[in-house]
Amino acid sequence: MHTKFNIIGIFTLVFAMFIWASSFIALKSAIGDIGPFSVIFLRMLIASACFLYFIKSFLKYTFTKEDLKYILLLALFEPCLYFIFEAKALQNTTASQAGMITSMMPLITAMGAGFFLKEFISKQLIFGSSIAVIGAVWLSLEATTTASAPNPFLGNSLEFCAMICGAGYTIVARYLTEKFSALFITALQSFIGAIFFFPFFIYEYNTLEMVFSTEAMLWIAYLGVVVTLGGYGLYNYSLTKIEASQASVFINLIPVFTLVFAVIILKERLTFVELLASAIILTGVAISQIRYKKKK
């Protein structure tokens, strides 16, 4: 039985969101010197190396055909498709705006649960989602084009696609955590991700002019060890304590944390109109998450 209020689950979720928010800064910084998919590959490779220590404990698990289907689906959603979209997104938009788009993931998760799992979709969810989408489109259209964000509308659209993948990942991970440990699921993601992105790395290495600077490699190491091992490990562990629909709400902390990081580390600034559009997104999300008690 999962309790509605689980202090350990909430603490691990908040900390995971803090770590994930920092990943936008790390990824944005690293892809300045190294190809976007090469950064993802090296990140997954480092994370995989960390998990080699736990190989013996992983051998205890057995798989059914159903399990393998869900594992492959999980990996397809994230890291494979998710990071393809996010890596290209951060080449075209700012870290703060990409972080703001992540606030829409709970809405997408709820809509997906309603469509695929036939869960009830409330009027306030539809209303809140509509407001959030309007805010996201406005934020993208009003975004200022800069050297580090040459096409914000495209970047934000790709980040939105990444959120669709993230929603699918959350639903599938919730099923898998009933049978497998959070550590094992995170390791699988890293191993499959390293294999999947290896051809991308080979292509970029031979076609792009990359600089393996100390700063870029330190950011990649941070992504591989802290974000992948720590962030996903904490998130997958929290799913053993809290329902997926509840956990997805905590994604709303990412844009707040990301904005703070972007201002402090990357010196990014949102204009008044962009801040207003961001506020509309968060308002729409808040409305969508309102729970009304049903009368028997």
State the pLDDT confidence band at 32, using cuts at 50, 70 and 90.
confident
Question: pLDDT value at position 293?
Answer: 46
Residue 2 lies in a domain: no
Q: What is the pLDDT at residue 135? A: 85
Q: Tell me: the pLDDT tens digits for 112-130?
A: 777 776 767 778 877 887 8
In a domain, 296, yes or no: no
Q: What are the pLDDT digits (tens) for 6-30?
A: 788 888 988 998 998 899 899 999 9
pLDDT at res. 2: 45
| pLDDT in the model for residue 215 | 94
Q: What is the per-residue pLDDT for 285?
A: 73
With respect to residue 182, please indicate whether it lies within any of the assigned structural domains: yes
The yes-or-no verdict on residue 65 having pLDDT over 80 is: yes
Q: What is the span of the domain harbouring residue 149?
A: 7-288
The structure's pTM equals 0.80
Our count of domains for the chain comes to 1
Three-state helix/strand/coil letters over the chain: CCCCCCHHHHHHHHHHHHHHHHHHHHHHHHCCCCCHHHHHHHHHHHHHHHHHHHHHHHCCCCCCHHHHHHHHHHHHHHHHHHHHHHHHHHHHCCHHHHHHHHHHHHHHHHHHHHHHCCCCCCHHHHHHHHHHHHHHHHHHHHCCCCCCCCCHHHHHHHHHHHHHHHHHHHHHHHHHCCCCCHHHHHHHHHHHHHHHHHHHHHHHHHHCCCCCCHHHHHHHHHHHHHHHHHHHHHHHHHCCCCCHHHHHHHHHHHHHHHHHHHHHCCCCCCCHHHHHHHHHHHHHHHHHCCCCCCCC
Asked whether residue 178 is assigned to any structural domain, the reply reads yes
Whether the per-residue pLDDT at 1 is higher than 50: the answer is no
In this structure, is residue 294 part of a structural domain? no
For the stretch 165-224, pLDDT in tens is: 998 988 888 788 888 888 898 899 999 999 999 999 999 999 999 999 999 999 999 999
Please tell me which of 101-110, 155-164, 265-274, 276-285 the model is most confident about, judged by mean pLDDT: 155-164
Q: Please check whether residue 202 lies inside any domain of the structure.
A: yes
Whether residue 42 lies inside any domain: the answer is yes
Note the pLDDT of residue 245.
62
